[in-house]
Amino acid sequence: MIRLLTGGKKKIPGISVFIILMQVLVLQCLAQDKQSVLDVNWNNITTVSKTTSTLQLVENPMVRNSSPIHEKTFAALKALGADYVRYVPWFPYPKMAVAELKPPTATETFWDFTYLDSTMEALMKATEGHSVVINFSTTPVWMWKTDKPVAYPEEPYQTSWDYN
C-alpha cells in the first residue's frame, strides 16, 4: 500500500512489477558476488512516498465541445479528482494552441481565444477545487526569425507538424 497526500491508501498495480524487478536485481547481485547479502525488511518503514496522481490534457479535436467523447472525457477528469492537471495547447493544432497567430501591427492586434477559452472552461469546471497548471508550450512563430513565413491551416482541427 502507498499512502497518498490525501491520507487514503490505494493499491498501486505497478508495485508487483517493482517487486519482481527488485527480485531480479537481487538475484543478479547474488550471482555476481556470492559473498554479498541483501536483507530487505519490508516491515520497517523508513519513509512514506508523498506523490500526487495527475495527468496532462493536451488540446486536440477530441477534447473539443463538438467531440463525441467531450462530455465523458471531462466527467472522467472530474471523477479522478487529480491535482496539478496540466493543460497544454500544443503546436500540431496552431489555431487551438496559439492565441495570436499573426503579428500585431502598429494599429491592430489579432488575439483570438475562441479555441483556448472553450477547452479552458471545461478543464476548470472539471478540476474545480484542485490545482491546475496551464502550460502554453507553443509560441507564435512570428516571434522567431525564420527564412520564410510559416504557414498554418485555416481549419483548426487540421494538424500542422511544421508550425513550431
> Mind listing the pLDDT tens digit for each residue in 75-128?
999 999 999 999 999 889 999 999 999 999 999 999 999 999 999 999 999 999
- Is residue 154, in this structure, part of any structural domain at all? no
pLDDT recorded at residue 121: 95
Same domain, 62 and 117: yes
Q: Residue 39 class from Cβ within 10 Å (0-12 exposed, 13-18 middle, 19+ buried)?
A: exposed
Residue 10: the pLDDT is 53
pLDDT, position 9: 54
Q: Which tops the pLDDT comparison, 100 or 35?
A: 100
Residues 23 and 98 placed together within one structural domain of the fold: no
157 inside domain: no
Q: What range defines the domain where residue 122 resides? A: 56-143
Q: Do 107 and 92 lie in a common domain?
A: yes
Buried b (16+ CB within 10 A) or exposed e, 66-78: eeeebeebbeebb
Residue 162 lies in a domain: no
What's the DSSP call for residue 93? Answer: S
Are 102 and 24 in a shared domain? no
**Which of 51, 75, 92 finishes a domain?**
51
- pLDDT tens profile 139-151: 999 999 999 888 9
Q: Which pLDDT score is estimated for 64?
A: 93
Range 147-151, long-range pairs (CB < 8 A, 24+ positions) = none
Claim to verify: residue 35 and residue 62 sit in the same structural domain = no
Average pLDDT over residues 159-163: 89
The answer as to whether 164 is a domain residue is no
pLDDT at residue 60 is higher than 60: yes
Are 164 and 91 within 8 A, CB to CB?
Answer: yes
Same domain, 68 and 134: yes
Note whether 81 and 125 are same-domain residues: yes
Q: 121 and 75, same structural domain?
A: yes
Nearest 10 degrees: CA dihedral of 83, 59, 116, 146?
A: 120
Indicate if 79 and 93 belong to the same structural domain: yes
Q: Average model confidence (pLDDT) for the chain?
A: 86
Q: Are residues 63 and 27 part of one domain?
A: no
Counting the structural domains of the chain, the total is: 2
